[in-house]
């Protein structure tokens, strides 16, 4: 499925690798002017993407960067909150720092960016905000209480923001992937991977491109009457 995002400006957090890089590729390939916000700038990044170094968990940094992008680009039409980290451990072994880091990067960053773009989009009377959650935000997962809490928080954040902004034609939705083949999931050993895939009805993980195409739908005019939704893209895992 292809879309036309010409003359539209998109911001993607965590766009330097993994799912974020696939999202940047898909949006830019379909005509969008794409800015990626992440802590590091890739050495061999996409030449069609503008990379901005930014700690998305830092409120002031995000407000400054997004203000600069708006002045430079003239509008902000699409925001994809994709930045995410894992610091997995059982609750008895998890330290406070690992809890705070995951909540700050996965959840607080979405507040930071949405706060920065909301007024801009309200002035435009249009906009698309797409949050990247996870199946574990619905199901939970042992050893991932911090990650699961951050992704569950994004669900409530998405629905609340959708209700606040709907009258201004700003639509907010969430995509909840299951197992996606990225650097983050490559940490699993062979036995862990087999056990995980055995639970997926489709018996495989998703590619970053398959997640990016769903982002494309939510960012496009084809979803102009869709807001406040959580869409699982997980090969049937959440059934």
Active-site residues, by number, are 147
Q: What is the DSSP string of 194-217?
A: HHHHHTSTTSSPBPHHHHHHHHHH
Look at residues 81, 106, 112 and name the one whose alpha carbon lies nearest to residue 10: 81
Look at residues 77, 81, 116, 15 and name the one whose alpha carbon lies nearest to residue 220: 77
Question: Which residue spans within the chain are E strands per DSSP?
Answer: 9-13, 33-38, 49-53, 78-81, 127-132, 170-177, 230-233
Token pair of 97 as six digits = 């720092």
Distance CA 79, CA 23 (A): 11
> HSE-up of 34 (CA within 13 Å, CB side)?
28
Task: List for the chain the helix, strand, coil content (%; round to 5).
Answer: 45, 20, 35
Distance CA 236, CA 239 (A): 6
CB atoms within 10 A of CB 155: 17
């Amino acid at each position: 499925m292809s879309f036309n995002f010409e003359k539209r400006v998109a911001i993607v957090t965590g766009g330097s690798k993994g799912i974020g890089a696939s999202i940047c590729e898909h949006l830019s390939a379909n005509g969008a002017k794409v800015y990626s916000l992440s802590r590091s700038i890739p050495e061999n990044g996409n030449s069609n993407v503008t990379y901005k170094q930014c700690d998305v968990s830092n409120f002031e940094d995000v407000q400054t960067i997004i203000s600069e992008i708006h002045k430079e680009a003239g509008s902000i039409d699409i925001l994809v909150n994709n930045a995410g980290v894992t610091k997995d451990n059982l609750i008895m072994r998890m330290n406070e720092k690992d809890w705070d880091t995951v909540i700050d990067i996965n959840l607080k960053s979405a507040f930071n960016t949405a706060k920065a773009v909301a007024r801009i989009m309200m002035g435009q009377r249009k906009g698309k905000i797409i949050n990247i959650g996870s199946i574990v935000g619905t199901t939970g997962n042992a050893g991932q209480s911090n990650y699961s809490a951050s992704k569950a928080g994004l669900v409530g954040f998405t629905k609340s923001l959708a209700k606040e902004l709907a009258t201004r034609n700003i639509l907010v939705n969430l995509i909840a992937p299951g197992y996606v083949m990225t650097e983050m999931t490559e940490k699993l050993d062979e036995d862990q991977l087999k056990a995980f895939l055995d639970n997926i009805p489709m018996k495989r993980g998703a590619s970053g491109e398959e997640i990016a195409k769903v982002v494309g739908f939510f960012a496009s005019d084809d979803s102009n009457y869709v807001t406040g939704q959580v869409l699982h893209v997980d090969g049937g895992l959440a059934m």
